[in-house]
Structure 1
């Protein structure tokens, strides 16, 4: 079994440079914002894994259930030789797809993309051991920048799961989907996970659980700024909250200053003032309707082939082919 090939598309200082740029932009904006990707240091990733097991957080369970029920259909419909997973992480859910493609006799190649070299190498090694008949190739990169550089032989199935597309603003979603379409040949496939619009109580609870795990996850971004940029955030001086924005149909996660505060960020030579009660947005998580997903896919050059939801209609997987 050959070792997985790993391509590195990020400079060694990529994370530090990107964090500094995002922090400067977000902390000097009005209202203040931070991108959600900075939640996911080692501690943040542990907390998110815990979140996925909480009663209130249904998306992971729903997506896994749909994949269990439909993986064989996906394999049969696509006849894919290559599975490309974007933001691979541990690749746990995609094993359902890989097993189905192997069972169908078409699986030849597995391509994984992740921003973390450590996580990617571990996932690629595990996949190579579990699927010895397939070539495993990894790419350390950002799925907003490096999609055109990914390896992969037709027919490809690109999997973008977990509802991650909901973290993009509409213009960012459009650019992302067009970029995925541009990397594919006509007739190749995209499998997209999207959380669906539902009642406010269910949505807000999913991002503000009773045990406070999501609150700790949200405040973890302040720990990241303190550690990496020397910032002086008092993490206990910020309260977590989630808010359903009905107009935009997305959930916002926010951190609210419990008192007026002055925060120094030495690495940026920056002083940031927070008024009492001031809120900083740390994540949007857009929710979708079928007609909206179909419209956005169509605008990017995809045709929706299959739409599957869990029995309660809370979450959807879309299978679309490149036109």
Structure 2
């Protein structure tokens, strides 16, 4: 039998290649994205301490990768260009449909179990949803759960069809842009995410004596952190535990949770978003 002889040099090179391969695998960048429902600078600010935390937990570089629009966030995860995405309920449904059920929601904020939208105006004559007839109204992005889908769904339930009953329907692209449009008088009213509205009021970024909430929707499931179903279960579990372990009583946990506008994170599942999917189909927004 012929035995191949390996010199110490070959053995060293072989070991080096194995070591390099395992190091490269360990150092593969973990990419995170989010729907662009606020300004790019705000999204980057919210992501920074979370990225740092996940790097420590995962033991590898983590990178926040912004996307241009909601559709791009869906394609990025479906095509595995990113490892994890922060989705609104509707964006998750779109990604789930687009991937043929190949995405998995891991966690949501406690607040996302009963999330709400608000309708705001600077026009004192607008006091109810019915008063919006004949007015110009801005939603956020067309793919936004809290800035379009659910407000539209509740309008339809109140027998108000935005496309027929409003003078004009506008899409600002993001929640903060909707506030700006209403405050500047570019539209008579707008619908947006309640947590962004409350943040703007708290930080004095909107004159709450001029721009007011005149309707708050009932609660619904919303945002979540989602991964591709092909992600190894061990990594999924590690990520889930990382979010569930965030504690407001630690400096790190407090900073991350406050920026994420969360009391705490809780586990979630795809079935929680069946109501959103039905609302989307009823509103003709999901074919």
Bigger fraction of residues in strand: 1
Bigger fraction of residues in helix: 2
Normalised TM-score (structure 2): 0.28
Larger RCO of the pair (alpha carbons < 8 Å, separation 6+): 2
Normalised TM-score (structure 1): 0.26
